[in-house]
Amino acid sequence: MSSEGISTRELRNLWLQDSEILCSCIVTGVNCIKRRHRRLEIIP
């Protein structure tokens, strides 16, 4: 269920490119992804 024009892979690439902690909202349950020390954590 992707209502957005961007794919999850694209978002993942953007997050990986960003070395700073990035927060993104997803239509399926507004999730925040924080990148810490090469680690991706999903916070509901």
In a domain, residue 3? The reply is no
Q: pLDDT at position 9, please?
A: 72
In a domain, residue 2? The reply is no
In a domain, residue 31? The reply is yes
Q: List CB contacts of 15: < 8 A, sequence separation 6 or more.
A: 22, 24, 33, 35, 40
Match 């810490």 to its residue by tokens.
36
In a domain, residue 29? The reply is yes
The 3-state DSSP class for residue 22 equals: coil
- Mean local confidence (pLDDT), 2-6: 58
**Model pTM greater than 0.75?**
no
5-44 pLDDT tens trace: 667 777 666 655 554 444 444 444 445 555 444 455 555 5
Helices (H), 1-44: 8-17
Q: Tell me the two tokens of residue 16.
A: 């990986």
In a domain, residue 20? The reply is yes
Residue 42, beta-bridge partner list: 33
Q: pLDDT at position 30, please?
A: 47
In a domain, residue 21? The reply is yes
Domain count, the chain: 1
Residue 29, domain extent: 8-43
In a domain, residue 36? The reply is yes
